[in-house]
A and B are shown apart, each in its own frame.
Chain A
Amino acid sequence: MAATQKWVGQPLKRTEDPRLLVGDGVFIADQLFPNLHHAAILRSPHAHARIRSIDASAALRLPGVVGIVTGQDAAKMTRPFAVGVRAPVKYYCMAVDKVRFVGEPVAVVVATNRYLAEDALDLIQVDYEPLSAVVDPERALAADAPLLHEEVGSNLACHRHIVYGDPDAAFADAEVVISERFVFPKYGSTPIETYGVVASFDRTSDVLTIHANFMGPFILHPITARALNLPENKLRLVVPPDIGGSFGIKTGIFPYMSLVGLAAMKTGVTVKWIEDRREHLLASSSGTDRIAYRELAARRDGTILAMRTRWYDNVGGYIRTPEPGCSFRPIGNWFGAYRFQHLEADANVVMTNKSLTGPNRGYACGHLYFEIERMVDLLAEKIGMDPAEVRRRNFIQPGEFPYRTPSGGLYDSGDYPAAFEKALELADYAGLRRSQEQARADGRLFGVGLAVAVDPSVSNMGYITVALDPEIRGRPGYLPKSGALEAATVKVDPLGRIIGVLGSAPQGQGHRTVVAQIIADELGIAPDDITIVDEMDTFTRVWGISSGTYSSRFGSVGTSAAALAARRLRDKLVRFASYLMEVPPESVVWSEGGAHHANNGQVLTLKDLAGRAHWDVESIPPGMEAGLEATAVFAFPEAKAPDLQDRVNSSNTYGFIAEVMAVEIDPDTAAIKILKYVTVHDAGEIINPAIVEGQIYGGALHGLGGALYEELAYDEQGQALAGSFMDYLVPTAHEAVKIDIAHVVSPSPFTTLGAKGLGESSSMTVPAVLANAVTDALKPLGVHIRELPITPSRLWHLMESARSKR
């Protein structure tokens, strides 16, 4: 027990902010290094082509150019990256003999400055033999489709057919069956800071040091080391003090760590590469576009019995780890918030001539809930029931937690009906329905949408092995994968001040502030007396392959590790104090930053104890380790490897989101106006409400961008159509909405403080709630939203064709 809890739960101002506000942040592009040279990357203008030859001789002669790297170097000096599927895809850090998407790296120039490096790119001659391209994931599976990887033999990177329960029987029993086809677009969160890598190779120690704004998962460190033919302890990965946003997207930097590392090894100089925005839009990372077919079986009373689904996830030119997470990341919560027990899922992960994909805020959950929540609304419409009532009839009930889903998810805690009713009440759902009636009577297009989601956080690294057939996972000698952990160290300096050390590599989530709040409570001191270091350095931090800031994990796992480390330190301080006081440890309590004897008034403050421990090591009792620091590695006990029935607890805490949105649509221009947007979250205990609110706002706007504006569009030939922020529309303050936010609190039994993650939050619900609201508004026209983004022109066409059919 913390002595007196007073900092956790407060909306403390962030300690991160003053530096950032005065321009003293240290981002990757701001860092200075000796012997620094600059790289520019030549990229493929073709979606699909064979490289006949590359002539870089003129570029190499340009004064200031110190070296050029091409696919031949990559083939000689590196290996393809490992990925968790069986298809033998050879994905190197740059094109070797073929290019498979527009923007794929073809050559790297290293020069004394970036301007010169870019000049040199113009002098490189590449002879391409263009090949026909394919961008549609269903089309790519046709027998006559262009083949991207000859050695794979088809464009299918991974296929799994997974059945839970007995969906056939459930469908046979159903009174109502609904089916629909959905299209989810390719979009990415486009952090305002692009990728950046600085690499240098020390020939005497053979250590390659890479600085990069990479945020995990750190499984990509051994994968990068292996690709560079380096032992893992010869690859030092250092993350700068500040990262300018990621939202999952910066996971995709690891091939560039390898590419720039290769350039440093080949040229012998320190090489810096800062991605420009065009490169980012063409060739960094995005979520997958997906075509999905879904069927739902139900009874006429609204009870959902089963679902069937088949989807095609488009991972672009090469499947890149951690894909096929796009298909399997939410496997434990494939059933959403509902009690049905039968599901058939057919996952197809397809390679086409588009850019590569990976985690993007809400990873795979935006897709999942868009489909599930649209289906629930379709059911409501079909049986003539209010969509709120249909949800009520299917929710997992509060008494059922921890709840095991048929796919193996272990929902830790929740009260879905309470959160849902709170959202309805906050939105005045009944009042919105009355306004709708009035609006419809006036001929206006007014709609109300609902959506709920189970919000998974802290991915279990084992989930990805579901991509392999159970037959493979069941073989003798197969090494299973599992787990999710994070480490923290808390130490006392010689004068009694605290330093907390994390390796979490945050990108704006305020870990320093949050961890100071936690340690302050555990040790009974003020956050101002605590300094938190959160930069990652693989040579000095305690870390595991799951470390990093992604999958909303810090709120659950990082805070647990920090609290645990502080408690360990406190226990040691109490034992040390009791020895000095010559009393049994049970008679000493820790409070207000010191050890107090329960009866006799004796006090030893943190400062006293620090002084003794540091300056008079002899005072440490026999059997106690010297030094005042504690490290905790917190690992979730339920993060097990998938079983042979493909059941896996794919995440470790599961929050809940319930949302209501009201919209009005202009009948002439198809412009969508959001009139009300309510979101209720259950993220367990909240440590800093201001930071939580900021995450919800940010997540919601990512969802809104993807649902309304953002699309990394391609033409049929695989030409990228969005190469700048003029084509790729990011919401501005003007498009952003005001949100009514409320919380319910169901503490997680699995975390130290009862907290859950919520970093991805409403990014996974907004596409669903918006599609439901727009469909509801257009009920008089019979328009259904099946495809995102709902751009004004797309919506206008839907409305026009509906009108012309009337």
Chain B
Amino acid sequence: MAEPRKVSFKINGAVREGTTEPRKLLVDFIRDDLGLTGTHIGCEHGICGACTILFNGEAARSCLMLAVQADGAEITTVEGLAAPDGTLHPLQQAFWEHHALQCGFCTPGMLMAACDLLRVNPSPTEEEIRTGLSAVLCRCTGYQGIVDAVKAAADRMRSSN
């Protein structure tokens, strides 16, 4: 087995360090070593999107990366989305208002994917939202509430900018 390596990165605004086997998945490191269990695992093969995080600002699947690859990176997980005072991010608020979650298991990944979508395209059409979010699977909602929520959040974010 390969020697453990040091890894250090910024996550949700704070620098965190640890030692890890080189083979350890980033998602396992985030969940098990850092205790940030908001990022979920639904397939470990890059399809379901439950593990989606922002990696240097862009959506990425943390089940398809190794923890050591994150050395020096800047990461945001669902725990870093709300304001420090607890005010929900407009996407979180809109998800709540539009019944965009049932079991909530896909929700963290869905929120992070939606963040990335709105960064790239601040005023997406419904079609663009559907395409943009097709990288995250939800089995509860039939997606309609999610699509409505992302649209509402986009409107709110544009008007507050």
Contact = CB atoms under 8 A, between A and B. Distances in A.
Interface of A: 11, 13-14, 16-18, 20-27, 29-30, 115, 189-194, 242-245, 247, 274, 276-278, 507-510, 690-691, 693-694, 696-702, 724-726, 730, 732-734, 736, 738-739
Given A27-B40, A191-B103, A242-B105, 12 more contacts: A13-B97, A21-B78, A21-B107, A192-B137, A245-B102, A245-B139, A694-B99, A694-B141, A696-B142, A725-B48, A736-B144, A739-B142
Of A22, A25, A274, A724, chain B has the most CB atoms within 10 Å of the CB of A22
B100 to A, nearest CB: 9
Interface stretch (B3-11, B66-74, B126-134, B153-161): B126-134
B142 to A, nearest CB: 3
A710 B144 CA distance: 20
Given A245-B102, A510-B102, A697 B144 contact: yes
Contacts of A733: 129-131, 133-134, 138, 143, 146-147
B144 A244 contact: no
Contacts of A696: 142
Contact of A24 (B31, B38, B134): B38
A49 B137 CA distance: 36
24 contacts: A16-B104, A17-B95, A18-B96, A21-B101, A22-B78, A22-B81, A22-B82, A23-B77, A23-B78, A25-B105, A30-B37, A244-B40, A244-B105, A245-B102, A277-B48, A508-B104, A691-B99, A694-B145, A697-B141, A725-B47, A725-B137, A733-B131, A733-B146, A738-B144
Nearest to B50: A192
A20 B143 contact: no
Contacts of B131: 733-734
B50 A23 contact: no
Contact of B42 (A14, A192, A739): A192
Contacts of A276: 43-44
B82 A17 contact: no
Given A22-B78, A277-B43, A277-B48, A245 B134 contact: no
B16 interface: no
B115 interface: no
A22 B138 CA distance: 17
Given A17-B95, A694-B141, A733-B130, A507 B103 contact: yes
B57 to A, nearest CB: 19
A472 B82 CA distance: 62
Contacts of B144: 697, 736, 738-739
A193 B103 contact: yes
A696 B145 CA distance: 12
Nearest to B42: A192
A594 B111 CA distance: 43
B130 A27 contact: no
A21 B145 CA distance: 14
Chain B contact residues, majority secondary structure: loop
Contacts of B62: none
A29 B96 contact: no
A23 B38 contact: yes
Given A18-B88, A21-B107, A276-B44, A693 B99 contact: yes
Q: Sorted from nearest, which 6 A-B pairs have the closest CB atoms?
A: A23-B38, A244-B105, A697-B142, A20-B104, A508-B103, A508-B102
Nearest to A245: B103
Interface residues of B, number: 55
Nearest to B104: A20
A281 to B, nearest CB: 10
B99 A190 contact: no
Interface string B37-66: 111111111011010000000000000000
Contacts of A192: 40, 42, 48, 50, 103, 105-106, 137-139
B94 to A, nearest CB: 10
A736 B147 CA distance: 10
A131 to B, nearest CB: 31
Nearest to B107: A20
Contact of A189 (B24, B97, B101, B139): B139
A730 B103 CA distance: 17
B127 to A, nearest CB: 9
Contact of B108 (A23, A26, A724, A738): A23
B44 A736 contact: no
A211 to B, nearest CB: 15
Contacts of A732: 130, 133-137, 143
Contacts of B106: 192, 244
A253 to B, nearest CB: 15
A653 B82 CA distance: 42
A14 B99 contact: yes
Contacts of B21: 115
A165 to B, nearest CB: 39
B152 to A, nearest CB: 13
Which of B38, B43, B138 has the largest number of chain A CB atoms within 10 A?
B43
B139 A698 contact: yes
Nearest to B103: A508
- The winner among B31, B81, B101, B133 for most chain A CB atoms within 10 A is B101
Nearest to B12: A23
Given A193-B40, A736-B130, A20 B48 contact: no
Contacts of A509: 102
Nearest to A193: B105
Contacts of B111: 21
Contacts of A693: 99
Contact of A245 (B79, B133, B140): B140
B65 to A, nearest CB: 16
A733 B132 CA distance: 9
A278 B44 CA distance: 9
Contacts of B119: none
B140 A23 contact: no
Contact of B104 (A189, A244, A691): A244
